[in-house]
Amino acid sequence: MAKKIAIIMNQDETISIKVDDKLKHTIDDDHKISATAIYDILNFSIGDEFEVSTENEFEIKPEVLSFFAKLIDDIITQVNSTFDSHKVDILPENHIHESVLIEED
């Protein structure tokens, strides 16, 4: 599934991250984001394709916006190379996962 990620610098120096035009996260003006937030934003599934774009109407801190765009892009590249859909067998929807408990001596 193709997902469009827009990283938008707001006038108050917060950064909005939208996926397919839906707001997924706002980075406060301290410009910090957690790994969990990035994971939730991407909502990755094998076979996903991403297009990352930036918007900075007011030309505020372009280097910060660029940093976050590159960070997201690098994470997407790494995840895609780890889960190359040509190398990973996708389980059928009716697959039943059986838990296996390994006892240690």
Mean pLDDT value across residues 45-60: 93
Tens-digit pLDDT profile for residues 26-40: 999 999 999 999 999
Q: What is the pLDDT of residue 82?
A: 79
Q: What is the pLDDT of residue 91?
A: 63
Tokens matching residue 37: 């937030």
Tens-digit pLDDT profile for residues 70-98: 999 999 998 888 776 555 566 677 767 66
pTM over 0.85: no
